[in-house]
Structure 1
Amino acid sequence: RSGAKIERDYAKDLQKLVDNCKHKNELGSLEKAWRDVKTDTARIAQTHDTAGADFDKLAQEMSSFTDEQKRQSKAAEDAVQKLHSNLKSSYSKFTSQEKTFHQKGETHDELLNSIKFMENTRNTVVPKELEKARVKESKAKDDLEKNENSYKNLHEEVTKSKAAYESEMTKMCELFQTLDEKRIDHTRDNLWKCTNLESRICVEQDEYAEKMRQNIEPCDIDGDIQLYIKYHKTGSEKPPNVAYKPCRGRALKVQVDKGDHLYSEVTLH
């Protein structure tokens, strides 16, 4: 867009120069040359103004292209971010359940060991205490199995979440590579178009400059001088000499050589 503004501003300044350039005192071939130079300079200004519009169009195309790339990038990032959040949540639940599951396992192992010890020392253990321990172990075993099922389910969930995240992450990386390849190609293409515009400006400007040179070349200095004399001359003869008239009763001796200035020296006797 900066290039477009530069071209438009230059076109305006050039046209302003044309409008302010006056040549009312010129005649003949130089007057025509001036008029033609102004006309071709105005055309050069138009060339730059058109180039400004073309640069604007290229800038708009680039802006639209960039906006579309941003849209696609954001959509991919949002999808990955959502899956990443799901993975974090699943993993958090999984690690929490893993800790609980292992604790339940330790508790069950302790109860089993306690029952074995009681069975080995049956003579010193009250039967009711052994029965209570077995009931407690059975409940701990059921609790352990339930936690193990939850742990397995969460493990499957986190595995699926991880696979989905990695798959979407791969797609996003591939998309980013494709987008960047397109960006490089599009930028290269736009730069190429910009240089073509600059070349067109130079060609058109040189064509108009050549026309100016062709119009300036035939200028006829002698002809323009004669034309100026024709329109502005004051006459073809010099004015007569001014006569000196002395006062009455006084003698006058005037010495005037042929060709002297009309205000020749006057001597009185």
Structure 2
Amino acid sequence: MTSQGRGSRLWQKCTQTDNNCHFSIKMLHFKDFFWSSDLTCTSGYGVIVQYLNDGKRTCKEVEEFIRARASIEEKYAKDLLGLSKKHIKTISGHIQITMKEEVKKMEEFREKQKEARKKLEQHMEALHKHKSTQLKRTMESKRMYEQKCIDKEEAEQNVNRSSSGTKHMEKLCAKAQQAKVNAVEADRIYHQSVMSLAKIRDDWLKEHIKACEVFEKQAADRINFVRNTIWTHLNLLSQQCVSTDELNEEVRKSLEKCDIQEDIEHFVKLRRTGDKPPAPVLYENFYSGQRVPPKLPPPLIKACPSTHRAAGVQDEAYSVVHF
């Protein structure tokens, strides 16, 4: 079985396991576990955003890794050009081209998620700011309301405790009446502020849930995309090994047909320069003008088994050579 086939089966097994897990356990979602009892607290939202930032950084790291690997494969393919045949260069070239395509896809995916997140994060930040501002107004109106209520009670107590004349009593009553009006107005403003905050809170809750769902979907898409990219990358490397081994097998089969003697004979027939050696260089007697082939030394005459006697041969023409 090829590595690509093994990769496909393992991928199917992994996917089936994930699907079974979805049915066997209760799935956890962002929208259910990132709240806070403090209305102004955004720690849960911040944790999600940080998680997405970490995921974006992971995408960038994988993208840079594949880009670097593609650059190495490209240089490797160029180096092989001077050492190997064209079919090996084609394999290496195909790998680096495929890796560059994967890098481009990951870059596009990352930028797409970045733009979608940017709009949503800006919207949520505006809601957080609006919510905090309205909460401050509500707390301020509550403080004013409580103070007006205290003023009203004090004015009424002054009226009840007073034993002064009619004029002073009228002043106290008028002051108490005005304090009552102020308290009623403060109560209205406070109640209205609370109602406005309640509406803002409801809107924020809905938008927070939507944002959690979008962020969770982005996280799931990112995990799936990165997993698929790495899986494809590894399959590509495995396929490169398989292809290289197939080419090596072709070479091995070619080597099995190699016949040493036949190769030597082929070279001889193809590049031979002649089948006769050069003639010996003849001795030329300066005085006779004749070419006399050099004589070999005479055979030795054995005088006895243990002794040898050198024989001299005299060239009749000119020289005498002693051996």
**Is the TM-score greater than 0.5?**
yes
The answer to whether residue 118 in structure 2 is matched with residue 51 in structure 1 is no
Measure the CA separation in 2 of the matches of 1:93 and 1:160.
Answer: 14
What secondary structure sits across from 1:17 in the alignment?
coil
Measure the CA separation in 1 of the matches of 2:142 and 2:261.
Answer: 109
Mark the runs of 5 or more structure 1 residues left unpaired by the alignment.
Answer: 19-40, 249-253, 260-265
Could you report, residue by residue, the CA deviation over 1:183-228 in whole angstroms, capped at 9, with x for unpaired residues? 2122222222212222322222222222222333333332333344
What secondary structure sits across from 1:78 in the alignment?
helix
The answer to whether residue 270 in structure 2 is matched with residue 226 in structure 1 is no
Mark the runs of 5 or more structure 2 residues left unpaired by the alignment.
Answer: 1-66, 289-293, 300-319
Aligned partner of 1:108 in structure 2 is 152
Report how far residue 92 of structure 1 moved: 0.8
**1:11 aligns with one of 77, 99, 116:** 77
Report how far residue 258 of structure 1 moved: 8.0
Measure the CA separation in 1 of the matches of 2:277 and 2:183.
Answer: 137
Aligned partner of 1:126 in structure 2 is 165
What secondary structure sits across from 2:257 in the alignment?
coil
Report how far residue 95 of structure 1 moved: 1.0
Report how far residue 157 of structure 1 moved: 1.1
Aligned partner of 2:240 in structure 1 is 201
Could you report, residue by residue, the CA deviation over 1:238-259 in whole angstroms, capped at 9, with x for unpaired residues? 52353252667xxxxx861489
Measure the CA separation in 2 of the matches of 1:227 and 1:152.
Answer: 108
What secondary structure sits across from 1:267 in the alignment?
strand
**Aligned AA for 1:139?**
Q
Single out whichever of 57-66 and 213-222 deviates more from structure 2.
213-222
**Aligned AA for 2:229?**
N
The answer to whether residue 146 in structure 2 is matched with residue 80 in structure 1 is no
Measure the CA separation in 2 of the matches of 1:182 and 1:61.
Answer: 14
Matches within 5 A, 1:143-154: 143-154=182-193
Could you report, residue by residue, the CA deviation over 1:47-88 in whole angstroms, capped at 9, with x for unpaired residues? 111111111111211222222222232232222211111111
**Aligned AA for 2:321?**
T
Aligned partner of 2:20 in structure 1 is none
The answer to whether residue 136 in structure 2 is matched with residue 70 in structure 1 is no
Which structure shows the bigger proportion of residues in helix conformation?
Answer: 1
Aligned partner of 1:138 in structure 2 is 177
Query: Deviating runs (4+, > 4 A) in structure 1?
Result: none
**1:243 aligns with one of 273, 283, 289:** 283
What secondary structure sits across from 2:321 in the alignment?
strand
**Aligned AA for 2:279?**
P
Percent identity, aligned pairs only, is 25
**Aligned AA for 1:203?**
V
Measure the CA separation in 2 of the matches of 1:78 and 1:117.
Answer: 58
Q: Which has the higher contact order (CA 8 A, sep 6+)?
A: 1
Q: How many residues were matched structurally?
A: 232
Please, what TM-score do these two structures have when normalized by structure 1? Answer: 0.77
What secondary structure sits across from 2:83 in the alignment?
helix
